[in-house]
Amino acid sequence: MEKHLLLLYCCKSYPTTKRNRQMQTQYINEWLDIPELKIHQLLSIHDDEVHIEALPLDDKQICPCCDSDQAVIRKGSNGMRTVRHLSVFEKKTYLHVPTIRMFCSNCEAGFVWAYDFVGPKQRYSRLFRSHTVEQALGSTAAHGARIQQAPASTVQRMHNEAVPALCDALYKQVWEEAKETAELVLGVDDFAIKKGHTYNTGIHNLKGETMLDLLPGRKLEALRAYAQAHPEFLRLDPKAVVMDLAQAYHTWISECFPKAIRIADRFHVHGYVIESVQEVRKTVQPTLSPRAKTYLKANHRLLNPPAESLSEESAKKLDTMLNYSPLLRSMWEWKEAFTTWYDCSPNYTVAKLGFERWCTQGDQIDHAAVQSALKTMRNWQEEIVNYHQCRWTNATVEGRHNRIKAFQRRHYFTRNRSRYKAGILIECNRHRMLSY
């Protein structure tokens, strides 16, 4: 902020004395923070543009052929090169630097002065490009173009050029962290590209809060093919792996990591119980009076969350609904008992006994939805109770899926698979870019 104020000061109209010109260039040098350049003069200041002439500090450069500057001489200039730099006060900033011709008498090679702050034959500085790419990562090219006052095609091209290298660096970093993490906990879950048709599977480091990889499909054949093609995945040593109740995932993990604790994700398990509560509600609803039926239908979502999370007004509405039917009340109490079992079981042994008591409580409810849910719970009893050996869930993974869906909507489901994968990995690991 101080540098911006200094630039604002120097951009005002002052008498063009030699002393004032020196003050202006001094402040602009501080703002630009480009050590290889010194500001020669302000060329022009318009409503939306600032043009600055800058010169290199050194007299000569090392020859790219012989790596020596002993025999290098200047041989004139091909004119001025215009480079777009970071904007200030919503003004586009342009640096005008000379394209100096150099000649090395040792190897008789001619070359042009190379600037570190901008790439060869590029019209945008490295800082401008990196800042533009950073803004475009969490947004769209059109939005980044409006902020930077640059063409959308230019922003898109900068984004596409930066993504592969950025993805490779992030990919390497998150995998190194996973290998070094003690008692690593992995999360495996799928998300839809086209719901009901095409899916991807994500592998996540729950402790490190990073996404490790993305593989196409969710069937067992695709999972096994990934493990064979990526030996670094098999070299991981996770303490536990959190998954939903898909049999393919549990079979795959038991083959890859037989010593790991397989945990059924609490969010998905709880979903089966809530679904059975709503099935009972749909059965009870037609038997009520029109007024009670309307009231129950309008407030049916109050049956899902824990009672302690409801406000006083919502708790009163819930109590009114439960008074409509003893079956609905016993079903809701069974659901609440499951939440209490998850939250209050102190260890694995107590949790196993509590789970059996909860199943016995459910056996007393005479409803097909309850019996179906109990059948699923008993089939996956070990994986569900394993939560109390290692209390991890895929909650962060579900949040990451929301970011992935937003990415897919912004990029209209990119057809290029490698670019699509790189974009998702960057989107999910963007917080790690701060360490670069």
141 falls within a domain = no
Q: What burial class does residue 373 get, using C-beta atoms within 10 Å of its C-beta: 0-12 exposed, 13-18 middle, 19+ buried? A: buried
271, 259: one domain: no
397 falls within a domain = yes
348, 406: one domain: no
At 338 the pLDDT is: 95
Paired strand residues for 39: 54
138 falls within a domain = no
41 falls within a domain = yes
How does DSSP assign 358-416, residue by residue? HHHHHHTS--HHHHHHHHHHHHTHHHHHGGGTS---SHHHHHHHHHHHHHHHHTTS-S-
281, 241: one domain: no
At 227 the pLDDT is: 94
73 or 410, which is more confident: 73
220, 364: one domain: no
343, 401: one domain: no
259, 278: one domain: no
338 or 48, which is more confident: 338
Measure Cα distances from 68 to 167, 232, 392, 428 in Å.
36, 43, 59, 45
Average pLDDT over residues 21-44: 73
Q: Specify the CATH number for the domain of residue 249.
A: 3.30.420.10
Q: What is the pLDDT of residues 290-301, one digit of tens each?
A: 999 999 999 999
Closest CA to 27 of 49, 17, 42, 15: 42
Q: Residue 12: pLDDT above 90?
A: no
Closest CA to 114 of 53, 67, 62, 69: 62
Per-residue pLDDT band for 25 (boundaries 50, 70, 90) equals low
Instruction: Name residues whose C-beta falls within 8 Å of residue 162's C-beta, 6 or more positions apart in sequence.
Output: 129, 130, 133
Average pLDDT, the chain: 87
200 falls within a domain = yes
257, 270: one domain: no
At 412 the pLDDT is: 66
CA diameter of the chain: 101
290, 233: one domain: no
At 321 the pLDDT is: 94
Least confident of 9-13, 145-149, 191-195: 9-13
59 falls within a domain = yes
Per-residue pLDDT band for 1 (boundaries 50, 70, 90) equals very low
24 falls within a domain = yes
193 falls within a domain = yes
At 397 the pLDDT is: 93
CA distance 100 to 220: 61
Paired strand residues for 56: 37
User: At 9, which amino acid appears?
Assistant: Y
284, 423: one domain: no
Q: What is the pLDDT of residues 76-114, one digit of tens each?
A: 888 899 999 988 777 889 999 999 999 998 888 889 999
| Count of structural domains, the chain | 3
99, 10: one domain: yes
Average pLDDT over residues 165-184: 91
At 413 the pLDDT is: 58
14, 63: one domain: yes
261, 397: one domain: yes
CA distance 265 to 252: 16
Q: Residue 386: pLDDT above 80?
A: yes
Average pLDDT over residues 115-132: 90
Q: What is the span of the domain harbouring residue 271?
A: 266-388
Domain stops at, among 63, 96, 123? 123
Query: Within its chain, how far is the Cα of 187 from the centroid?
Result: 15
